[in-house]
Amino acid sequence: MFERKINEKGRLEIGGADTVELAKKFGTPLYVYDENHIRNMMRVYRETLQNEYDGNGLVLYASKAFSCMGMYAIAKSEGLGADVVSGGELYTALTAGFPPEKIMMHGNNKLKDELTLAVKSNVGWIVVDSLYEADILNNLAQEAGKVQNILLRINPGVEAHTHSFVQTATPDSKFGFSVADGSAKETVKNLLTKTNLCLKGFHCHIGSQIFEKQSFVLAAEKCFSFLADLKELDFEAEVLNLGGGYGIRYTKDDPDLSFSDYADFFKSLIDAVKSACVNRNLKRPYLCIEPGRSIVGEAGITLYTVGAIKEIKGIKKYLAVDGGMFESPRYCLYGSKYEAVLANRANEEATEVVSIAGKCCESGDLIGEGFNLPAAKSGDILAVFSTGAYHYSMASNYNRNLVPPVVLIKDKKAKYLVKPQTYDDLIRNDVLPQSEK
């Protein structure tokens, strides 16, 4: 869906801005985002909820995909809520002025300090993922003199057809309580005894990078079967969060989804919810979803400068760039595939297949393999597509490399979302041990 536009100079553009000029102005490696694309995706989900479900719910931006103050500001202005999974994400959202009542906090092992911050900040909901956490949270709420709204994370046992590391509803998942083995129901009984916790409903998320509508529909059906079973406890859920996980296009092997395609995905889920409520005589819950990757993934690209070029005759050709696994970790983690172009020669035909190597001191430090490109030269600008999700958020200072800055493009104009790190930033918290006398 993301339009790969080439200007009259044969250069790649993003948001109307010349990527070569961006590289000159801001340096490389550089994360670049198209603000209009981000906002359009947010509106797709928000408007579908309004049109198909009378607005009885909330679209939560899953900020683990890309978290910074500017992103929370955009989500707030578009009327979205926020899904946060750590104290750091929560603190960033609050500092950006995000309304706490529209924040949902997740995590399978939230720390006491994180839960304390969430309770004191009056977040809308906390998703409970263990009885251990429920006990801590009940005590914290009691000490604060309040009753905290919670959801219980349940595992419906629906396997998404994605990498095993991003499947979250398999029987052996670390997330949630199983519906199938009865542990979810027993946990509900336990939570209903907590005097300072108010169980509002449930959370279910089956994984990410999913393209099959039926996976989401099946998960919804299993959730409602569970909700109907809870009638014997005289409990009916007011809130249901059915997660996110909608896939994006990384390569030509992935579906190229349009805005209307994503609306159809969500509509199918809403239709399943409405049907399930009728079939099981349940009231319609306040419906939440939490898309992240699909909002920012294709909106972002990463720019690099080609450095050394090494060809191993008859085996492989490497293009080395000024980035690597420290700011693009997904290939090393998951074997994730991408597409790329030479941004300064984007209209030239591909003539060779190359591997893109990073600058880290690791043999496995690759951006990826099998890229079809024109014969590259040192100094060319390489643009890798669909890097808007889980790149900046997973970046590190490995080998004491600097995490790249983030630039946002709107109406052809570029501005920082995240300023560049400096070497002073790297050593800011270092402490030299006192020398022995």
Active site residues: 361
Between the two ends of the chain, the Cα-to-Cα distance in Å is: 65
Collapsing DSSP states into helix, strand and coil, what is residue 304? strand
Q: Which residues contact 138 (CB under 8 A, 6 or more apart)?
A: 194, 195, 196, 197
Beta strands in 331-399 (DSSP E): 340-342, 352-357, 366-373, 381-384
Angle between helices 183-191 and 213-229 (to 10 degrees): 50
CA atoms of 73 and 97, how far apart (whole Å): 7
CA atoms of 202 and 175, how far apart (whole Å): 13
Sign of CA dihedral 229, 231, 232, 233: positive
* Residue 225: its H or E element: helix 213-229
CA atoms of 87 and 321, how far apart (whole Å): 34
Which has the closest alpha carbon to 255: 266, 245, 247?
A: 247
CA atoms of 250 and 57, how far apart (whole Å): 30
Beta strands in 19-147 (DSSP E): 30-34, 57-62, 81-84, 103-105, 125-128
